[in-house]
Structure 1
């Protein structure tokens, strides 16, 4: 077959007619709309399907026709093809009619339908009866139904009856007879379910149900891929002393995709922050010996640790922070963020959240369940009885139980067995993940930071001055990253040389250790009617912190906010002990003269 004069092609958004071939790589075309000619390469042309002599639509492909129909079409195609090769000979038409077992009119119909380019599919018989999708309503009524669906099918309360009422109203205004309920309902079945769901229940929930997920997230070995996320625990905890309901704690969880092990997590009374992320990463990467000692349960076994190759997470601000990204690059950890609106990209960690809630947390007294419908008349606050320290121990035991429970996606193995399998070679020899060279620096890398200048008076942050003799060599106007622990501002860490962190304490070491939360609360109280907070001195702030602490301790009836602040302070992470296993004392860089003035720091139970 070859291109015939008059064949139509789509070129640059318009329909052109073939005129002639100008060379081996160019043809001439004519545009009827503009009455212009052009020359182009044949490879740039797209054929336009031909229409019948009556201007009808091109033949629809019957790709779902039965095999018998395709075989009949193929037989007829071959017979007609043979006929066309010698159709001028006497008796050729009668021979064709006889071989096809058709009448003369039927044979002529097949001859008109025959298309050498289309092949047998041009002769596949159309399905008898009314074609699927045939509509008998006038076009203006169809347009009214479409407009009513678009305007009324929005939100969870949408109903087909509501759409029908809108159609009746629009038809009445247009002076037309309204279609039946069945006709309107039929139009719903013709629309994609996913589109209807997006309009009714929202983009996120509709995508959860209908969006295609052709790819699978596979990790071939432990530590290759981790996923991290925050979740609020569906259980209310109580105050340590009064045993009155306090709040729901937060958890930052990390899961190893290969083994489904939870290498680390962090529990907190405060909403997620960059500090929560730093503590969760630290807990996951480092061995858990000191942490288990702080929990006080020798039966807890937690042999999972190691530096990951990749950590995937959502787009929360703390996961996108520059500090977190630089720390990850500095420690050769690749970060991956899931596309917005596609939570299934973090399916493993989302499923872990659900497993912990459904299989463990929902059996605790004080459970809140996932919504008010499931909760019913259950009194969550009235039944609550676990303090934060008790819940922390319970949670560690629950995670251990999860590690030794068979996992459906691990072919019946437990996460612990899968982890051990990943560290066992072909000869059956067991190995362990490599240890971090400098655990202390690793953790400090991920701590929140602020840029500050090292002046002759030291470093000033939040109105507090910090000093160490080791800073004397680095006094300049250059800004450096100063790392800090929001729960304990007694020390900050700075690395001006790029070689090691220097631990810097208060200039006035007699001042008490405070958190950022306490510091801000004291400043707000002091500012009062003052025009600006700049008039508040650091001495006034620390005095107010002491007074607030005494007030909270002596108060018999505490508000939830005050109790939460007290509980958080008493359960705040003892950073040096919990994360690095080091005692809370000054570094070797700090001179011995400071030691006699240093007040012992209370180290509270770990909550990484």
Structure 2
């Protein structure tokens, strides 16, 4: 995150540093520590350089400096226990920060911390600990709150996994409508364990944990879960209902205060970029700013609605668009929309409830708001945009799918498809930038780009390093590291750095996959706590290719190969091979049998070895090569027999 605080430093690619001595809403004052010269620079200019990787914000606190590296282990890569600890600490941090205190002193902090600790039923942390957590969060975001002590000494759990089932059974009694106390639940726990230990040998008994340890585990039970069992779903939901208010009714003062996201299937068939075969109807995931109605980012692909398509749209939304537009010289206008938004509204689908998305939003410091079921009007901006998309952008493109069956009876959308996926993306991008963003809305009350420009001067736009953003929004996987490298989606990835990990004995590694570009992956070096990039060995078929395109291409090749296979001729060939093998077996057995007969005859009566066998006379063959039959005709002939064989 952009920690523009006094005392931190900006460092460029040449390792030259400048200290931040003043932070304004639209500017920073930078001081050269060597020549003591100061200059005022706009925050927008610094934001752009940070996104492009030209500048980095650093502090000389070792912890924060490590966490600020672009490829440092992201929040999603930590264990569930680590993330749970960080989320708990974040609760205290947000409570203190939202109080807008004039200073972080014991007198001001302690009452707030004590109140929250009572609500969640735990012993309150010290006020100095809270101050430290606040500083870590402001410097490094949610990853700054992850417990780093896991690298110190033995972190093995003190209770065995065998005892866990007894603890869980006892804790389940707390959910009964009779509302038993923790002390009563502990009695259940002890009773069960004593009875179990009575059946065991003295050397195999399970150690009973103390009441304090049991109570600590009991306090991890969700208050909502207890209410759900004690009073029912309706009462629990009423007491713990979401505090979120609809984006339509709450106050949105500026751009980036609130955005909406959703998916839609495009009413258009597209074809493969290389093979020109029909691929089907892609999906578009879009993010729209509620205040300006600007499109901040989108993703077009064949991915089912999932974290992957959401992550791609978020990445584009947050990024500076100038680098993107350089690849499309035909686009005339600028696309000024960029920066991390404060909150995002979405449906209650499985794709928006993934842990990956929750982790990413925590790291981005974005509040996620799920719309209440059955209330689609709470995200009216994005629904309205999709209506505009179908009516104005897709209206006359070949391959269009008609909503009315009677209209499409004489039009075959799939056969008429001519637009490739990359062409659709390019056309859509131009429509967004050169038409939608500069056109008035249906009520003629605003133009997206104009509203954005009016608000931008009042908003501290927060940017993130492009490499960090890419890593943060990739898919997490665990793969086997072999001598060949790493196999993913049927592709091999290898590098010298991977070879080093293999030589160190790593067998399983955590990787990050960009499902929109299989040309590379990120691999985590657990010792360093950092990821490094590894390219696919075969860049020809991997670079710039999405997982879905890769799967479709493989399926198409298999179908083409099957179509060229003559199953009848192959079956006939196998039949002939088997017949010849059987014939060879018969001929070989015949020859072997004759030789065995000769061996049984023994040596000749004259005592000369081999006199029993009369070598065949040389014969001339008509053909160039002798046949198996002619060879059999030339087998040795027995001249005389031993007395014991004469009859």
Q: Same fold (TM over 0.5)?
A: no
Give me the TM-score of the superposition, normalised by structure 2.
Answer: 0.42
